[in-house]
């Protein structure tokens, strides 16, 4: 069976099948509207997918009690307030000193019941880095130096809105009844 082809005149096309000048202008308009429709469709898709996925976890306020020891000697004991998802920086510098006595950077992230913590410590003569997971109320000692005891960090993490944190603050207030300075 043979198929006969019939050539019909299509507005905007020449007999060779190419677009005439006027039709290419119409095609450009349809490409523009096609792109607009695709962008609108993608925006709708992103909007629907963000509505279906759970909202980002709200930042959890955290308390950190840190003790830094260099060769057994206490170098720093900062007590810090931070929150998950935000980098916390602490630095001690003597007035007029060109370099800090220490620089501590903590980056906590919530993962279920625990917290992933990235810790960076810089002293004039030493530095250390560690990544660890901590539970609320957990205290951990880290050896960051090349040999044990060279650079040691003790770290306690607590959720601020917890009975344990309130008890710790009450204990600190009871200890400092005679002094006017705060423990944090």
Give the residue-averaged pLDDT of 13-29. 53
Q: Which residues pair with 120 in a beta bridge?
A: 105, 129
Asked if residue 100 has pLDDT above 50, the reply is: yes
pLDDT band at 181 (very low <50, low <70, confident <90, very high): very low
Candidates 147, 152, 92, 74; CA nearest to 119 is: 152
Dump pLDDT digits (tens) for 113-161: 899 999 999 999 899 999 999 999 999 999 998 888 899 999 999 999 8
- Return the half-sphere exposure (C-beta side, CA atoms, 13 A cut-off) of residue 24: 6
pTM for the model? 0.62
- Residue 18 dihedral angles phi and psi, to the nearest 5°: -80, 160
Candidates 103, 137, 100, 132; CA nearest to 120 is: 103
Asked if residue 104 has pLDDT above 50, the reply is: yes
Percentage above 90 pLDDT, the chain: 48
Full DSSP string of 136-152: TT-EEEEE-SSSTTSEE
Asked if residues 60 and 110 have their Cβ atoms less than 8 Å apart, the reply is yes
């Amino acid at each position: 069976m043979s198929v006969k082809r019939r050539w019909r005149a299509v507005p905007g096309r020449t007999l060779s099948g190419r677009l005439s000048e006027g039709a290419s202008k119409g095609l450009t308009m349809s490409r523009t509207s096609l792109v607009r429709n695709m962008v609108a469709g993608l925006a709708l898709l992103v909007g629907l997918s963000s509505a279906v996925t759970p909202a980002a976890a709200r930042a959890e306020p955290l308390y950190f009690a840190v003790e830094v020891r260099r060769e057994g000697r206490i170098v720093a004991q900062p007590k810090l307030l931070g929150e998950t998802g935000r980098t916390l920086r602490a630095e001690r510098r003597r007035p007029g000193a060109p370099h800090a006595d220490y620089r501590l950077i903590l980056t906590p992230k919530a993962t279920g019941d625990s917290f992933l913590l990235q810790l960076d410590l810089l002293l004039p003569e030493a530095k250390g880095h560690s990544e660890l997971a901590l539970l609320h109320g957990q205290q951990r000692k880290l050896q960051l130096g090349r040999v044990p005891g060279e650079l040691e960090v003790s770290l306690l993490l607590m959720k601020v809105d917890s009975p344990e944190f309130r008890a710790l603050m009450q204990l600190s207030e009871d200890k400092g009844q005679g002094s006017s300075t705060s423990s944090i």
